[in-house]
Amino acid sequence: MFERVQNIKYILILAAIFIAVGSLLISNYLISDLEKEERNRMEIWSEAMRSLNTADENTDLNLVLKVINGNHTIPVIVVDKGGNVLTYRNISKTFRAKDDSLSYISNLATKCKAAGRDIRIDIPTDVDKEDYITICYEESVILKRLAVYPYVQMGVVCIFVIISIFALFAATRAEQNKVWVGLSKETAHQLGTPISSLMAWNEVLKEMYPDDALIPEMEKDVKRLERIAERFSKIGSITEPKPEDIVEVLNRVVAYMEKRVSKKVKITTHFPAEPVIVNLISSLFEWVAENLFKNAVDAMGGTGSIDVFLDETEQFVCIEVSDTGKGIPNGKFQSVFKPGYTTKERGWGLGLSLAKRIVEEYHKGKIYVKDSKIGVGTTFRIEIPKA
């Protein structure tokens, strides 16, 4: 499921990149054509201006004036040889004072020349002296809008892709939650009947063999099964955390694990002497700690040491579980929490995924790989908000 969601996410991102790049290329092509078209129009307009400046009594000015007056989109400034503004068209500007207008237009003409948007027109004179005017023009409003459009389109596409990815993750997460809840409720329900039966048989055995030393151990295992069923039941229902001493909770887990791991595994705790109160669902949090311990034992191959630290910051109570196992590659720090990820031949890959869900959704905290080195060991860190 997760890999499928990841693939869809990558497809959406690639589609967005393809659309964005395609839009930029097409827009640049259209802008280039439009720039050439505007240049041609301004060359015709310049010829009309030259005809107007060299007109005599035989010149038909109707066509010339029609061309000049037909320009309603391209801003044009006409300057003489000395750079003085002679006339201008389509310059929209609200001037603070009349004195600023010519200065502003003159500066605009200079910028147009620097950008290469100018056309020189030689004016014949009676004396042997060169004279000319320069037609300076800006990009039209349509061209400016077209230049901005692809970036607006890219923004819209990016927003669409981001929303799509979030919606996809939300839908996937909701689907996973339904699966978890359904599986948990069904598991708790299925365990209920055999546990009740075992409890009844245990009572019968206690009456028949009151001095048997194995019966109390059987009773402990039945209670353990009850606790497991309780955990599944709480995962499948809305349960509010309540103030608990996290030191006591962790000590219970350590005591349980010490009896069930090899004597070659040493578990060392570094806890404060006084209680540390945190809002917990103790049965579920014990499950998280047990998962971390079991993974540590597996990573060490049944030989090594586990150190459990508990400290506090201003906002969080922090638990760290360090082992001397084989370590986790840097690129897998996030992957170990994904459903189905496992390095064990018979593993389901659900332990750390379930631990992450319990810590984040039920305790509003976070769990992550703090540090890991291949062949040296791994440290997992849990941060739970203070009560």
What is the spatial distance between Cα 91 and Cα 80, in angstroms, rounded to a whole number? 18
Q: What was the pLDDT predicted at 371?
A: 93
Contact criterion met (CB below 8 Å) for 233 and 185: yes
Q: What was the pLDDT predicted at 205?
A: 87
Per-residue pLDDT of the chain (387 residues; tens, 9 = 90+): 555 656 776 777 787 778 778 877 887 888 888 888 888 888 888 888 888 777 777 767 788 788 888 888 888 888 888 888 888 888 865 444 444 677 888 888 888 888 888 888 887 766 556 778 888 988 888 888 877 877 787 788 778 778 877 887 777 777 766 766 666 666 766 777 788 888 888 888 888 888 888 888 888 888 878 877 777 776 656 678 899 999 999 999 999 888 888 889 999 999 998 999 999 988 889 989 998 999 899 889 889 999 999 999 889 999 999 999 999 988 888 888 876 666 665 555 567 888 898 899 889 999 999 999 999 999 999 999 987
Q: What was the pLDDT predicted at 119?
A: 87
Helix 214-235 and helix 282-300: axis angle, to 10°?
Answer: 110
Parallel, antiparallel, or unpaired for β 265-270 and 304-312? parallel
pTM (2 decimals)? 0.52
Parallel, antiparallel, or unpaired for β 377-385 and 366-373? antiparallel
Please report the domains of the chain, with CATH numbers, ordered by start residue.
Answer: 2-145 (3.30.450), 240-385 (3.30.565.10)
